[in-house]
Amino acid sequence: MIYDNAKRTISLQLVRNVSNVHEAWFANEDEVRKAVGLLDKTEIKPPKAREVCWVKHVEFVCATYISTSISDGPGCLTLRCPTPSCGAAVGVDMVNMLTSDEDKKKYQRYLLRSYIEDNKKTKWCPAPGCDCAIEFDLGSGSYDVTCHCSYSFCWNCTEEAHRPVDCETVSKWIMKNSAESENMNWILANSKPCPKCKRPIEKNQGCMHMTCNPPCKYEFCWLCLGQWSDHGERTGGFYACNRYESAKQEGAYDESERRREMAKNSLERYTHYYERWATNQSSRQKALADLHQMQTVHLAKLSEKQCQPETQLKFIIEAWLQIVECRRVLKWTYAYGYYLPEHEHAKRQFFEYLQGEAEAGLERLHQCAEKELHTYLNDDCSQEAFNNFRTKLAGLTSVTRNYFENLVRALENGLSDVDAHGASSKTSSSKNAAGTSKTKGTKGKGSSKVGTTSRTDDSTGWSCDQCTYMNPRSATSCQMCENG
């Protein structure tokens, strides 16, 4: 049997992995004891503790030694007796016997932190201000975990949850967003070096007459980089340069302009994806704030106004949670799109189609949860109207969830529905990605074409073939996806 104190000492001093303590102990108990500083197998009772070599030290000195080590940091967890001939480990029992209550609390915090950080199945939540730790089973497939504080992150890289992109793409994207490379691209695309001192000069006015900053103060032409004193009305004036135009026709500026144009195109492409990535991030933050407002203020008001318990209004919270999650997924699809090879035209076309459909579906859900809900918060509406709203919002939530789940699956599979020659049809592939079948998680098997609707003689209404929403017979277009 391994005593708890001994087990903790072994895991801290030697193994650093609780799951291996028993294996190391039973393989060679004497060797383990010697390595980690455990004394004789006989348990030492506190009254006889002075019989150990610590008797050579005054108790006050021992307590001071331990207390100082605790104040220095987590290294106190592997503290040994200072006597060279002893080397006994200072364990929890000794700490509890000789230190103050404050030092005991510090030691326990270090002990807990050590357990969390040294255990492969536990990690601290990376959210700012959160003190929670999470235990996670690595065999579950997905690396996305959600803390009690509602923060979701990737177990593998500890960045925020980022499906459908992998950790390597996230790392490259974050680095690119903060890297000097984009600053250099901007400089290359929007500035030119001074012909004299070579410092980059930004053109911030329409005139071609440039003056370098002090102490250089060199005056030159923006277009041809020639000395300004050689320019005038005969060379084209302030807003043109005949020298530049003639030199360009001769090919003198082709390479320089080509590099500048490439940098400009690269910057514009990056800006396109980054702006949309950042916009969805802002929309997600706003949705989180709206969710909090709904949970703390509006739900109670709506419950009173509709004479329904809050438990029957959970469909609203579920809708907002889905909006928050979809904004996160949509945000990372722009990082996915940025790194999708430009020469894979079929995949890019299919990806942009799926992304556009996802955006449209999310906007319908967001508008319903945000704008239409305010009608029932601020105005008096019939119970029937509110029930219809409930059906619509719950249906939109379900349809949007299914679409995004299948979108994530399609992107994580590398858009495998598109073959190497780009021959697969957009219609059949989009149906698979959007999950048109009624069974969650399976490929679409509906035989009808996307964009058609199925009307039956059933007195209850008709079902939309695109989103499967059951519409009343009087509806001429789907009330869920607006498909006609």
d(CA 51, CA 42): 13
Q: Which of 53, 207, 241, 381 is catalytic?
A: 207
Sign of CA dihedral 75, 80, 81, 82: negative
d(CA 281, CA 330): 9
Sign of CA dihedral 21, 22, 23, 24: positive
Neighbour count for residue 353 (Cβ, 10 Å): 14
Q: What is the predicted pLDDT for the residue at 458?
A: 43
- What are the distances in angstroms from CA 320 to CA 30, 120, 275, 284? 59, 33, 23, 10
Q: CA 177, 179, 182 angle in degrees (round to 5)?
A: 80
| pLDDT tens digits, 147-193 | 888 888 998 888 889 999 999 999 999 888 876 555 656 666 667 88
Instruction: Say yes or no to pLDDT of 132 above 50.
Output: yes
Q: What is the predicted pLDDT for the residue at 31?
A: 65
């601020």: which residue's tokens? 378
Query: Could you tell me if 134 and 145 are in contact, meaning their C-beta atoms sit under 8 angstroms apart?
Result: yes
Comparing 85 with 124, the larger pLDDT belongs to 124
d(CA 405, CA 269): 27
| pLDDT tens digits, 415-463 | 987 754 444 444 444 444 444 433 333 333 333 333 334 444 444 567 6
| pLDDT tens digits, 14-65 | 444 555 656 665 666 666 666 555 555 444 454 454 444 544 455 777 788 8
d(CA 219, CA 442): 68
d(CA 71, CA 339): 48
- What are the distances in angstroms from CA 232 to CA 195, 201, 208? 19, 21, 11
Q: Is 149 a catalytic residue?
A: no
| pLDDT tens digits, 259-268 | 777 777 887 8
Are β-strands 144-146 and 133-135 bridged in parallel, bridged antiparallel, or unpaired? unpaired
Sign of CA dihedral 65, 67, 71, 75: positive
d(CA 169, CA 433): 22
CA-closest candidate to residue 147, choices 163, 160, 162: 160
Query: Could you tell me if 433 and 410 are in contact, meaning their C-beta atoms sit under 8 angstroms apart?
Result: yes
Among the residue ranges 22-36, 232-246, 383-397, the one predicted with the least confidence is: 232-246
